[in-house]
A = this chain, B = another copy of it.
Amino acid sequence: MEPFADRLRAATSKYGPLCAGIDPSRKTLTSWGLTDDPTGLKTFVEISLEGALGSVGVIKPQVAFFERFGIPGLLILRELFASARAHGLLVIADAKRSDISSTAEAYGAAWLGADAPFGADALTVTPYLGLDALEPIFSAAAQAKSGIFVVVSSSNEEGRGLQTAAWGGGSVEEHLLKDIGRYNDVQPGETVGAVIGVTREPNPELVAAMAGPLLLPGFGEQGGSAEELRTRFSGLPNAMVVSVSRAWSSAGPNVGELALRSAELQDQLRGALE
């Protein structure tokens, strides 16, 4: 198997830069006429998967919306991961896990690699405990040819103060990009990437030097535009996907409409990034 970043490049070059966000919130389930319970969740997941196949190369299930239903929800999550991967889709588990030493290692064991109980192709993590504390997850990812997306510049406004705090002559987010770059220098395979909101304006040189893949949320409903995508992210050498959740799932529950929405979004995003 190729490293995750290579598989991501192959997927986006085949289908386009869209990563379909699978966000079965109460609101979304209800808007599809489904019950807010594991039965509704299961139907949502089946329709989403069918709507994604053939028009999308990457999906990003939001783990919290499965966890809220406890074991039945997590059984559906596990089925979704397995089924999506069996169909050749790449799966980014949006779990935003974070811890230190042997605990970080345990999260790696839970989420990364073919033998993992919730085996995904990539996992999102948050860096508040220090990027170096996450090293056991990075190692697990490198070994499993999986990817990690560290939340660096989130698309929501509430994170601005902390993420732009001053650290070592720059901001927290700049410092983290440099630290990730150092990790990717030592460990080949572009294992560690970054989450950067389309609504943000990262330093392009730091992002390029970071070398890992980009997961770009915030397009559409959170305010990020095609013009912002173009000016801020086109031309960067990094592998990248743009995750779209509500603007994608709002085309459901009709499978054909979902596929159509995928195609429209792929065109829009490809136009902005190429």
Contacts and interface: CB of A to CB of B under 8 A. Distances in A.
A131 B107 CA distance: 23
Interface stretch (A12-20, A49-57, A97-105): A97-105
A151 interface: yes
A126 interface: yes
A178 B141 CA distance: 36
Nearest to A73: B117
Contacts of A130: 154, 156-162
Contacts of A65: 103, 106
Copies of this chain, complex-wide, total 2
Interface string A144-184: 00000001001011111111011110001001100000000
A167 B74 CA distance: 38
A151 B128 contact: yes
A68 interface: yes
Interface string A116-134: 1110000000111111110
A128 B175 contact: no
Given A126-B126, A130-B161, A133-B158, A68 B100 contact: no
A10 interface: no
B67 A110 contact: yes
A82 to B, nearest CB: 12
A130 B98 CA distance: 15
Given A62-B99, A130-B156, 17 more contacts: A23-B103, A67-B117, A70-B110, A70-B118, A98-B98, A100-B156, A126-B126, A127-B162, A128-B154, A128-B163, A129-B154, A133-B154, A161-B167, A162-B167, A165-B165, A165-B166, A165-B175
> Nearest 10 CB-CB pairs, A to B?
A70-B117, A130-B158, A165-B167, A130-B159, A165-B165, A64-B106, A133-B158, A132-B158, A166-B166, A68-B109
